[in-house]
A and B are shown apart, each in its own frame.
Chain A
Amino acid sequence: ILNVEQSPQSLHVQEGDSTNFTCSFPSSNFYALHWYRWETAKSPEALFVMTLNGDEKKKGRISATLNTKEGYSYLYIKGSQPEDSATYLCASDINNDMRFGAGTRLTVKP
């Protein structure tokens, strides 16, 4: 994998559903993996920065895991709420060279 890829591109879920997205990144020269939430008309907001293989981080209902050997990270949202609607971006940090994926656009229907 040469670029950072995210899937799915978009996702529609019902309020209360749990969901997850995937971020794939180059595993060579890995330094850190970032997750951001980008709401419409706002600037991207940092969720997590992960560096170690097997890392798992949690913030409220949102959590993320990291596999640096195979080059993927999962973001999980438990019990989605309408306010979780946003684009979720991941980025691979290779010594200040930040490579962003195209994002997963999540829409949570009430």
Chain B
Amino acid sequence: SQTIHQWPATLVQPVGSPLSLECTVEGTSNPNLYWYRQAAGRGLQLLFYSVGIGQISSEVPQNLSASRPQDRQFILSSKKLLLSDSGFYLCAWTSGLGNQPQHFGDGTRLSIL
């Protein structure tokens, strides 16, 4: 069966520090991968998605970036965090076959001090 792992679960970082959140999927190949953020009191906002290794689509211009170094690995990064980067980050995958539901990781609660 397919599983998705996302870590860390919680993270407290100072303003200006770098960020690396990792997401891996097991039990499937060539998934579509997504990064979302939920800011306080708001819905899920799509940040990045990837349909293959090295292919990244950015939905929102910001100081975050994403990379997909391997088929089932998706990394969210920042060189310098801002206070506004605080929020709940979710990774998700879908089979890419079309009209398939998204399967979400457990999320990372990021607090910027």
Q: Report A's interface with B, CB cutoff 8 A.
A: 4, 6, 31-32, 34, 36, 42-46, 49, 51, 89, 91, 93, 96-103
Contact = CB atoms under 8 A, between A and B. Distances in A.
Nearest to B100: A49
Interface residues of B, number: 23
Contacts of A43: 90, 104-107
Contacts of B102: 34, 36, 44, 46, 91, 98
Interface in B86-108: 90, 98-107
Nearest to A52: B99
Interface string B1-45: 000000000000000000000000000000010101000001111
B57 interface: yes
B74 interface: no
Contacts of B100: 49
B43 A100 contact: yes
B83 to A, nearest CB: 22
Nearest to A87: B43
Given A49-B101, A98-B34, A44 B90 contact: yes
A96 B32 contact: yes
A24 to B, nearest CB: 13
A97 to B, nearest CB: 7
Given A96-B57, A98-B49, A46 B103 contact: yes
A99 B106 contact: no
Contact of A101 (B32, B43, B98, B104): B43
B46 interface: yes
Nearest to A48: B101
A32 B99 contact: yes
Contacts of B105: 43
A96 B43 contact: no
B46 A46 contact: no
